[in-house]
Amino acid sequence: MQMTVDLNRVGAKGAIAEAAEGKWGMSIDRDLCTGCQACVAACAMENNISFVGEEDAGYGRTQHWIRIERFWEGAYPNVKIAGGYQPMMCQQCGHAPCEPVCPVFATPHSDAEQLNLQVYNRCIGTRYCANNCPYQARSFNWRDYHTMPERGNMVNGKLVFPLHNQFNPDVTVRRRGVMEKCTFCIQRIHKAQDKAKSEGREVMDGEFAPACAQACPADAITFGRIDHKDSLVSQRSNEGRGVKHLEDLNTLPRVTYLKEG
């Protein structure tokens, strides 16, 4: 009798997990990235990310789902950019270290989209996941930044928050005490899938992109299906310059960094 193993049910390491190739993936060309931070700004706008303010930023509580890492040579002031810039975000690991440590299963693995989810209404804020993430991609809501009274304007005795008008209605505004992270703009994935389904077709390659990829002026970020061999992201990831970060941890990241030499 042949045994069939449901890959999504097996939490085991190694060969079994390695067979799961994932669905959505991203490639980031570090030779093209100029470190302009357009992706960081676009991500913050798309995903209702809080501005934590000076004091909390000093505590290292900045909430960016994507950040630009810099590499340099020499000691200040004689520094020289070497190795360039590297946008870093949640790698949507196929075998994620953040997932098994959550005591309330608030960060499950999506079987349908093959992404790491963060369920805000289930999260109780233990922050285990952030401690266990080797990419440091997660950020925690230490306060209700969106409704801090000193950020509002008093209009006719009522607090008014002008920036609430620019919230993206497709993304939850996170409250205090929950963890958050890059979702690969799952709201855009759903929107594209919904549109494709209403027109009776499959989602086309390049039909949509996450906010970071859309904003990138150098087109360094490519997004698409990595299980489709002819998609642009698959071609770029497999062209030979690709590196996956911390691969030795067997996290199976879905983001490939491209770098010559």
Partner 1 sequence: MIRKFFKWAFSPMGRIAVAIAILSLFSLAAYGLYQTQQAPEQPIQFTHKLHVGLGIQCLYCHPGALRGPSPGLPTISKCWGCHQQIAKTQTSALLKPMVEAMDKGVGFTWVPVAQVPDFVHFTHRPHVAAGLNCENCHGDMTQVTIAVNPQVMNMGWCLSCHKERAAGDKEKLTKLTDCGTCHY
* Residue ranges that bind partner 1, judged by CB under 8 A: 8, 108, 110-113, 115, 117-122, 170-173, 183, 186-187, 190, 194, 197-198
Angstrom CA distances, 118 to 55, 108, 125, stand at 26, 7, 11
> Which element (helix H / strand E) includes 191?
helix 186-198
Return d(Cα 254, Cα 90) in angstroms, integer. 9
The distance of closest approach from Cβ of residue 212 to partner 1 in the complex, given in angstroms and rounded to an integer, is: 16
CB nearer to partner 1: pick between 23 and 236 = 23
The distance of closest approach from Cβ of residue 223 to partner 1 in the complex, given in angstroms and rounded to an integer, is: 16
CB nearer to partner 1: pick between 20 and 119 = 119
> Is 60 in contact with 225 (CB distance < 8 Å)?
no
SS3 116: strand
CB nearer to partner 1: pick between 122 and 245 = 122
Residues 233, 238, 241, 244, Cα dihedral to 10°: 80
CB nearer to partner 1: pick between 22 and 242 = 22
The distance of closest approach from Cβ of residue 105 to partner 1 in the complex, given in angstroms and rounded to an integer, is: 9
The distance of closest approach from Cβ of residue 187 to partner 1 in the complex, given in angstroms and rounded to an integer, is: 6
The distance of closest approach from Cβ of residue 175 to partner 1 in the complex, given in angstroms and rounded to an integer, is: 9
CB nearer to partner 1: pick between 85 and 184 = 184
Taking alpha carbons only, the member of 244, 246, 168 closest to residue 210 is: 168
Taking the CA of residue 12 as centre, how many other CA atoms within 13 Å lie in the half-sphere pointing to its CB?
8
Angstrom CA distances, 238 to 22, 255, 256, stand at 15, 12, 9
CB nearer to partner 1: pick between 37 and 110 = 110
The distance of closest approach from Cβ of residue 191 to partner 1 in the complex, given in angstroms and rounded to an integer, is: 9
Q: What is the largest CA-CA distance in the chain?
A: 75
CB nearer to partner 1: pick between 45 and 117 = 117
- Burial readout 98-131 (b: 16 or more C-beta within 10 A, e: otherwise): bbebbeeebbebeeebbbbbbebeebeeeeebbe
The distance of closest approach from Cβ of residue 20 to partner 1 in the complex, given in angstroms and rounded to an integer, is: 13
Report the residue count for the chain: 261
